[in-house]
Amino acid sequence: MKIIYLIDSNNYNYHKKLAADFVSITGGEITDTAGADPGILYYEIKVQAPRVIITFDLAGHVFRTGSDTLSLNNIYARFAHILFHRSDHYAVELKARQNLSMFTFIPNGEDVAYYRDRYPDVPNIDRFVPFIYNASDEYEQQSNLANIRQWWNDFQRKAML
Protein backbone atom coordinates (compact mmCIF):
# COMPACT_ATOMS: atom_id res chain seq x y z
CA MET A 1 0.00 0.00 0.00
CA LYS A 2 1.43 3.37 -1.06
CA ILE A 3 1.55 5.83 1.87
CA ILE A 4 2.79 9.42 1.67
CA TYR A 5 3.47 11.65 4.66
CA LEU A 6 3.22 15.39 4.08
CA ILE A 7 5.29 17.49 6.46
CA ASP A 8 6.40 21.12 6.64
CA SER A 9 9.85 21.23 8.22
CA ASN A 10 10.13 25.02 7.83
CA ASN A 11 7.24 25.71 10.20
CA TYR A 12 7.47 22.61 12.39
CA ASN A 13 10.98 21.34 13.11
CA TYR A 14 9.75 18.14 14.80
CA HIS A 15 8.03 16.78 11.67
CA LYS A 16 11.06 14.95 10.21
CA LYS A 17 11.81 12.84 13.29
CA LEU A 18 8.16 12.13 14.03
CA ALA A 19 7.41 11.20 10.41
CA ALA A 20 10.38 8.82 10.44
CA ASP A 21 8.91 7.13 13.52
CA PHE A 22 5.57 6.74 11.72
CA VAL A 23 7.26 5.33 8.61
CA SER A 24 9.07 2.76 10.77
CA ILE A 25 5.62 1.41 11.74
CA THR A 26 3.51 1.97 8.62
CA GLY A 27 6.01 2.12 5.78
CA GLY A 28 5.68 4.83 3.17
CA GLU A 29 7.65 7.90 2.22
CA ILE A 30 7.99 11.44 3.51
CA THR A 31 7.37 14.49 1.32
CA ASP A 32 8.43 17.86 2.74
CA THR A 33 6.29 20.75 1.46
CA ALA A 34 8.77 23.33 2.79
CA GLY A 35 10.01 25.55 -0.02
CA ALA A 36 8.30 23.47 -2.72
CA ASP A 37 6.12 24.90 -5.45
CA PRO A 38 2.61 23.83 -4.32
CA GLY A 39 1.28 23.27 -7.85
CA ILE A 40 4.18 21.09 -8.97
CA LEU A 41 4.29 19.12 -5.71
CA TYR A 42 0.53 18.52 -5.80
CA TYR A 43 0.73 16.96 -9.27
CA GLU A 44 3.78 14.87 -8.29
CA ILE A 45 1.79 13.45 -5.38
CA LYS A 46 -1.35 12.88 -7.45
CA VAL A 47 0.59 10.99 -10.16
CA GLN A 48 1.95 8.59 -7.51
CA ALA A 49 -1.66 7.53 -6.74
CA PRO A 50 -1.10 6.88 -3.02
CA ARG A 51 -3.69 4.88 -1.15
CA VAL A 52 -3.11 6.87 2.06
CA ILE A 53 -1.85 10.41 2.66
CA ILE A 54 -1.02 11.42 6.22
CA THR A 55 -0.44 15.09 6.93
CA PHE A 56 1.14 16.61 10.02
CA ASP A 57 -0.25 19.97 11.14
CA LEU A 58 -2.23 20.21 7.88
CA ALA A 59 0.84 20.30 5.63
CA GLY A 60 -0.59 20.18 2.12
CA HIS A 61 -3.48 22.52 2.86
CA VAL A 62 -1.52 25.08 0.83
CA PHE A 63 -2.50 23.09 -2.27
CA ARG A 64 -5.46 25.11 -3.61
CA THR A 65 -7.43 25.19 -6.83
CA GLY A 66 -8.10 28.34 -8.82
CA SER A 67 -11.33 28.79 -6.87
CA ASP A 68 -9.40 28.47 -3.57
CA THR A 69 -10.79 25.03 -2.65
CA LEU A 70 -8.58 22.34 -1.14
CA SER A 71 -6.80 20.48 -3.96
CA LEU A 72 -6.31 17.41 -1.77
CA ASN A 73 -10.05 16.76 -2.21
CA ASN A 74 -9.22 15.83 -5.83
CA ILE A 75 -6.87 12.99 -4.92
CA TYR A 76 -8.46 9.57 -4.59
CA ALA A 77 -6.90 8.42 -1.30
CA ARG A 78 -7.70 8.07 2.37
CA PHE A 79 -6.33 10.96 4.43
CA ALA A 80 -5.33 11.36 8.05
CA HIS A 81 -4.66 14.92 9.15
CA ILE A 82 -2.85 14.77 12.49
CA LEU A 83 -2.86 18.02 14.46
CA PHE A 84 -0.29 18.50 17.20
CA HIS A 85 -1.50 21.86 18.53
CA ARG A 86 -4.82 22.98 19.93
CA SER A 87 -7.32 22.91 17.11
CA ASP A 88 -7.88 26.68 17.24
CA HIS A 89 -4.31 27.03 15.92
CA TYR A 90 -5.65 25.77 12.55
CA ALA A 91 -8.91 27.79 12.46
CA VAL A 92 -8.40 29.08 8.90
CA GLU A 93 -7.31 25.73 7.43
CA LEU A 94 -10.12 23.79 9.13
CA LYS A 95 -12.73 25.94 7.41
CA ALA A 96 -11.86 24.27 4.08
CA ARG A 97 -14.32 21.59 3.01
CA GLN A 98 -12.91 18.08 3.35
CA ASN A 99 -14.08 14.89 1.67
CA LEU A 100 -15.55 11.98 3.59
CA SER A 101 -12.29 10.11 2.96
CA MET A 102 -10.45 12.57 5.23
CA PHE A 103 -10.00 12.01 8.95
CA THR A 104 -8.74 14.76 11.23
CA PHE A 105 -7.14 13.79 14.52
CA ILE A 106 -6.96 16.36 17.30
CA PRO A 107 -4.91 16.07 20.52
CA ASN A 108 -6.37 14.06 23.37
CA GLY A 109 -8.23 16.37 25.75
CA GLU A 110 -9.73 18.51 22.99
CA ASP A 111 -13.53 18.60 22.78
CA VAL A 112 -14.45 16.62 19.65
CA ALA A 113 -18.14 17.68 19.73
CA TYR A 114 -17.14 21.36 19.92
CA TYR A 115 -14.87 21.08 16.88
CA ARG A 116 -17.42 19.08 14.91
CA ASP A 117 -19.92 21.90 15.49
CA ARG A 118 -17.38 24.65 14.83
CA TYR A 119 -16.03 23.08 11.61
CA PRO A 120 -19.01 21.43 9.88
CA ASP A 121 -17.04 20.94 6.62
CA VAL A 122 -14.61 18.59 8.40
CA PRO A 123 -16.60 15.33 8.47
CA ASN A 124 -14.44 13.01 10.57
CA ILE A 125 -12.86 14.45 13.71
CA ASP A 126 -11.43 12.21 16.41
CA ARG A 127 -8.80 12.29 19.17
CA PHE A 128 -5.44 10.56 19.35
CA VAL A 129 -2.99 9.83 22.13
CA PRO A 130 -0.27 12.50 21.84
CA PHE A 131 3.09 11.49 20.45
CA ILE A 132 6.45 12.57 21.83
CA TYR A 133 8.26 14.84 19.39
CA ASN A 134 11.77 14.08 20.63
CA ALA A 135 11.97 11.00 22.81
CA SER A 136 14.71 11.48 25.40
CA ASP A 137 15.32 7.82 26.22
CA GLU A 138 14.58 4.29 25.04
CA TYR A 139 11.43 4.01 27.18
CA GLU A 140 9.89 7.16 25.65
CA GLN A 141 10.86 5.99 22.16
CA GLN A 142 9.23 2.58 22.66
CA SER A 143 6.14 4.22 24.18
CA ASN A 144 5.93 6.54 21.20
CA LEU A 145 6.19 3.68 18.73
CA ALA A 146 3.49 1.77 20.62
CA ASN A 147 1.18 4.83 20.44
CA ILE A 148 1.85 5.17 16.72
CA ARG A 149 1.15 1.47 16.18
CA GLN A 150 -2.14 1.78 18.11
CA TRP A 151 -3.14 4.90 16.16
CA TRP A 152 -2.33 3.20 12.83
CA ASN A 153 -4.45 0.15 13.71
CA ASP A 154 -7.36 2.41 14.72
CA PHE A 155 -7.03 4.52 11.58
CA GLN A 156 -6.99 1.47 9.30
CA ARG A 157 -10.19 0.25 10.90
CA LYS A 158 -11.92 3.67 10.69
CA ALA A 159 -10.79 4.30 7.12
CA MET A 160 -11.64 0.73 6.08
CA LEU A 161 -8.21 0.06 4.64
pLDDT bin (cut points 50, 70, 90) of residue 2 is very high
Residues 59, 61, 64, 67, Cα dihedral to 10°: -170
**Total domains in the fold of the chain:** 1
pLDDT score, position 139: 92
Q: Which residue, 30, 25, 37, 27, is CA-closest to 12?
A: 30
Which domain, by its residues, includes 111?
A: 3-158
pLDDT bin (cut points 50, 70, 90) of residue 30 is very high
Cβ partners under 8 Å of residue 2, min gap 6 = 28, 48, 49, 50, 51, 52
**What CATH code is carried by the domain that includes residue 56?**
3.40.50
For the residues 16-36, what does the mean pLDDT come to? Answer: 94
Q: Which residue, 140, 132, 130, is CA-closest to 110?
A: 130
Longest dimension (CA), the chain: 48
pTM: 0.92
Q: Which residue, 86, 83, 110, is CA-closest to 98?
A: 83
